[in-house]
Amino acid sequence: MTYERACALDEVTPDQGLAVTIGDLEIVVARDGDEVFALQNECSHAAVALSEGEVADCQIECWLHGSMFDLRTGKPTNLPATEPVATFPVDLRGTDVYVDTETTLNGVTPA
């Protein structure tokens, strides 16, 4: 596993994802309580940035059509999206968030 620094933990607000670029990959870092998650920053239905949507109840919303994605699994929890987005391992190091974009937790290949 190769972790790269994504952001400072205090940059990630509880109700909004944070868009981050690591290498050539756009990810969204989001938090639910004390847990921090990293997902591909692209809705599997409409190819728009998930970081533009709201975060609540361990889900992130696609702002365009309202699909919700589980932060833990990347799976959509409602329509119109039917395909999951990639999820990545996160490591908190002090006040920084590190993400391994070479490995996916859910087996989904980033688009």
pLDDT in tens, 75-110: 999 999 999 999 999 999 999 999 999 999 999 999
**Vertex 19: Cα angle to 73 and 44 (nearest 5):** 45
Q: What is the pLDDT of residues 45-78, one digit of tens each?
A: 998 999 999 999 999 999 999 999 999 999 999 9
Quote the percentage of the chain above a pLDDT of 70.
100
pLDDT of residue 101: 96
Main-chain phi, psi angles of 69, to 5 degrees: -120, 130
**Helix, strand, or coil here: 9?**
helix
> Region 3-12: what's the mean pLDDT?
98
Q: What pLDDT, on the 0 to 100 scale, is given for residue 17?
A: 97
Domains and CATH numbers, the chain: 4-99 (2.102.10.10)
The rounded distance, in Å, linking the Cα atoms of 27 and 99 is: 9
> How does 55-94 read in b/e, with b if 16+ C-beta sit within 10 Å?
beebbbbbbbeebbbbbebbbbeeeebeebbbbbbbeeee
Q: What is the pTM of this model?
A: 0.95
Nearest to 6 by CA among 92, 106, 73, 70: 92
